[in-house]
Amino acid sequence: MAVISDTHLGTYGCHADELLIYLNSISPKKLILNGDIIDIWQFRKRYFPTSHLRVLKKIISMASNGTDVYYITGNHDETLRKFSGNAMGRLKIVDKLVLELDGKKTWIFHGDVFDISIQNAKWLAKLGGWGYDILILLNRLINWLLLKLGREKYSLSKRIKNSVKSAVKYIQSFEKVAAELAIDNEYDYVICGHIHQPKKETFINKKGKTIYLNSGDWVENLTALEYNFKRWRVYNYNHDKLSPFFADEGIKEMTLEELIDSITVKEEG
C-alpha cells in the first residue's frame, strides 16, 4: 500500500515528472491519495501542463488494472467533497478512511479539519496559497542559479517554516492533536497530509499509544508512505533513488483530449 498527498497538480510547484516516475515504480494493492492532489483553489486554464495530465492518467490506469484507489478530499480540492461516497470502478472519493492492516486499525484523513485558518478564514488561507506559489517560482530560479554554480539546491519555504517559531509550534500542535484523537479512538495508526511535513513517530500518553504518520508532499519534500511486511516507512524520492524510466510509454505524450478519451467508457453499437 502507498499513500501520497499534497501533490498540488495544477500549480508551478508540483514535481509531476518525479511523481510519475515514482508511481511507475510501484504496484500497490491500495493507493491512497490523501488530499490536495489537484489544486482546485489555484487552478488556471492556462496552466495544467501535459506532465500533470500524465499523473492523472497513470492513477486512472492503476485503478483500471486492479489497484484500489481512494481519493481522500483535502482543503485545496474540497470541491470534490460534494461527490464523497461516489465511486468510478476502483476509484473511490471519500472524506476519510478507516482500514484494518494486519489486525491494526488505521485512520487516514487529510488534516485540514485541524486548521483554524482554513475553517474560519478561507480567503486568507487562499491568499497564503498564492504567496506560496510565488515563493516556489522564486525558489526554482535560485536553485537554477545554484546548480549553475555547482552548489546544492535550497528550499526557501522549508527554511522559513523551520525558522519561524509559530510555524514549528503549529506543526507540533497538529501532530499532537491528531495522535491524541487517534489514541482516544483506539487507532493504532493515524495518517495525515496537509502540513507538508513527512514523519513517522510514536506518541504515548496515559490512555495508550499510536503511530503518527504524515505523507509529506510532492512540492518540496517529494515523499510518500509505504506499507510492506507489516511495517510503515517514509519514502523519500531524493534519498531513495529511482532510475528515470517510464513504465507506460503511452503516458509520455498526452493531450487533454487524449486523457478524456482514455477514461471515457464508450458504448459499442
Report pLDDT for 151: 74
What are the chain's domains?
2-263 (3.60.21.10)
Query: Is residue 115 scored above 50 in pLDDT?
Result: yes
Q: Of 22-26, 119-123, 132-136, 247-251, give the lowest mean pLDDT range.
A: 119-123
Query: Is residue 4 scored above 70 in pLDDT?
Result: yes
C-alpha 207 chain-centroid distance: 30
How far apart, in whole angstroms, are the C-alpha atoms of residue 121 and residue 145? Answer: 37
Query: Is residue 61 scored above 80 in pLDDT?
Result: yes
Report pLDDT for 267: 42
In the predicted model, what is the mean pLDDT of the chain? 80
Report pLDDT for 148: 72
Select the more confidently predicted residue: 209 or 243: 209
Length of the chain: 269
For 64-107, write each residue's pLDDT tens digit: 999 999 999 988 888 888 898 999 999 999 999 999 999 999 99
Query: Is residue 120 scored above 50 in pLDDT?
Result: no
For 30-60, write each residue's pLDDT tens digit: 999 999 999 876 666 677 889 999 999 999 9
